[in-house]
């Protein structure tokens, strides 16, 4: 049984969804520290042929707090402005009419707890893409929360009965294959293959938010992109 574990991110890039689609159970890692300046509350979209950062407005965010202890600012004016920016950027994209209502529903979700807000967005997009992966919050698991790093990951895998643990390639130096083997778990890393899709610009802009992928590709095409990875 394959398990993946990642922090919740704001409209994450395609690699996040490749990881989720490749496992049987996906754990949203919501009871670890909030990372300021990371991808938990921001991402990049395409504006006038270049990447532009968009942000989820936060309240009291701190790296000294867990993700599920941080709050989203309930600012409808800000969120409506964010939606207008996304609309401006993608109103001519081929799948705008299909995807923008989903993005609007996600951004206007009436929830203050950051982890719950992001969980909703992850579940909504996974449903749109017809994923069958079981999604679990790490804070809902009865585990030893005094554990840190690799030990905590192995504990979660043990609780869920994992035989394989999948992680993004960026974490390859964080874990010991020997220790995972000792615990009866095979560790694998996902590396996204290079690919391009039409963005109405001359030079393809890679690694943007899933918003960009969904706006320029049909659901069936996105499903094909989800399979474009190597296992290491």
Number of domains in the chain: 1
* Confidence at residue 107, expressed as pLDDT on a 0 to 100 scale: 98
User: How far apart are alpha carbons 108 and 87 in whole angstroms?
Assistant: 14
pTM exceeds 0.95, yes or no:
yes
Domain of residue 30, residue span: 2-231
Mean pLDDT by 10 residues, the chain (232 residues): 98 98 98 95 96 96 97 96 98 97 98 98 98 98 96 98 96 94 98 95 94 98 97 95
* Confidence at residue 14, expressed as pLDDT on a 0 to 100 scale: 97
* Confidence at residue 180, expressed as pLDDT on a 0 to 100 scale: 98
Q: Which residues contact 148 (CB under 8 A, 6 or more apart)?
A: none
Closest CA to 186 of 194, 176, 197, 173: 176
Strand partners, 54: 43
């Amino acid at each position: 049984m394959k398990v993946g574990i990642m922090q919740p991110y704001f409209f994450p890039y395609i690699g996040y969804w490749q990881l989720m689609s490749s496992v049987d159970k996906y754990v949203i890692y919501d009871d670890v520290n909030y990372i300021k300046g990371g991808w938990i509350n921001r991402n990049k979209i395409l504006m006038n042929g270049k990447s532009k950062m968009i942000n989820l407005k936060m309240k009291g965010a701190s790296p000294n707090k867990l993700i599920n202890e941080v709050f989203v600012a309930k600012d409808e004016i800000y969120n409506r402005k964010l939606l207008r920016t996304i609309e401006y950027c993608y109103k001519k994209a081929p799948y705008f009419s299909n995807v923008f209502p989903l993005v609007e529903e996600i951004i206007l979700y009436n929830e203050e707890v950051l982890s719950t807000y992001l969980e909703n967005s992850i579940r909504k997009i996974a449903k749109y893409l017809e994923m069958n992966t079981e999604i679990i919050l790490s804070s809902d698991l009865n585990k030893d929360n005094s554990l840190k790093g690799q030990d905590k990951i192995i504990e979660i895998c043990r609780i869920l009965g994992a035989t394989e643990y999948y992680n993004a390639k960026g974490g390859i130096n964080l874990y010991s294959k020997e220790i995972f083997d000792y615990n009866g778990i095979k560790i694998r890393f996902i590396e996204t293959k290079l690919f391009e899709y039409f963005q109405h610009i001359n030079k393809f802009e890679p690694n943007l938010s899933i918003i960009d992928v969904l706006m320029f590709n049909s659901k069936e095409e996105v499903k094909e992109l989800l399979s474009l990875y190597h296992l290491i």
